[in-house]
Structure 1
């Protein structure tokens, strides 16, 4: 998977740590603050264990395999599966597929999008 900033379906691309992200739906686009972000992640990518205080984080796996840890429980998710990390629970993931992974992440509110843009 080649990761080069540019355009995916006309959306702005930028880097967040090792991940190329594209905002498909900005939290500012609607009244409920729904945000949809596409992530292109390399093999081994794994954010630190963290907690979102105000929003659930929904991951829909488009390509690849990820190992999730949510509140101390591990789960493997493959392309086509969806995983939710409820607000207030510590979570992380690791990209297990050698070719990397691609996901859609869905949240509500502006906190997640703001964090991505400020990094």
Structure 2
């Protein structure tokens, strides 16, 4: 049985619970721990859909020009090609499961993040981290979008 991987990625902590190599590339399952104040850059996935299930805290989802706040037990489906941004505007750490179909996003996380046992700091990605995301994103079918 494969041991879970924990990766510091763009200001969050990502646990790869099920990787694509275990599912014939059909899906992957990640657990995201998102500190307060941390948001992903606006982006879209060209190859996979994401289903976000909130475990604890509040996860904000920006898509189609509006932001929704999701609490524990709530879910949102982000179809491939749909621009979105995920974040935590709440006062406590948020945790969510991210189900990606097909798999592939976990490999982007592996290459753009750092393997770690714990989240070193609760901060948004710095310029160096954003540059690494931008340099790898097109190879994984992820399009980073302007913030404004």
Report TM bin, short chain.
Answer: 0.7 to 0.9
Q: Equivalent residue of 1:114, what SS?
A: helix
C-alpha distance after superposition, 1:58-78 (max 9, x if no partner)? 110001012211122321111
Q: Over aligned residues, Cα RMSD in angstroms? A: 1.3
Tell me the number of residue pairs that the alignment of Structure 1 and Structure 2 aligns: 110
Report the Cα distance in structure 2 between the residues aligned to 1:92 and 1:50, rounded to whole angstroms.
6
Preserved CA contact (<8 Å) 1:27 1:108: no
Give the gaps of 5 or more residues in structure 2: 113-148
2:7 pairs with 1:14: yes
2:92 and 2:67 map into 1 onto residues whose CA distance is: 21
Displacement of 1:46 in angstroms is 0.3
SS in 2 for 1:51: strand
Q: Who is 1:90 aligned against?
A: 83
Q: Which residue of 1 aligns with 2:111?
A: 118
Whether the aligned pair in 1 keeps the contact of 2:28 and 2:104 (CA below 8 Å) is no
User: What is the CA–CA distance in structure 2 between the aligned matches of 1:81 and 1:117, rounded to whole Å?
Assistant: 27
Task: Tell me the residue number matched to 1:77.
Answer: 70
Looking at secondary structure, tell me which structure has more helix per residue: 2
- Equivalences for residues 1-119 of structure 1 within 5 A: 11-119=4-112
Alpha-carbon offset, residue 32 of structure 1: 4.7
CA–CA separation in structure 1 for the residues paired with 2:23 and 2:104:
15
- 8 Å contact 1:34–1:107 — kept in the other structure? yes
Conserved in 2, the CA contact under 8 Å of 1:61 and 1:77?
yes
The normalised TM-score by structure 2 is 0.70
Structure 1 residues not aligned, in runs of 5+ = 1-9
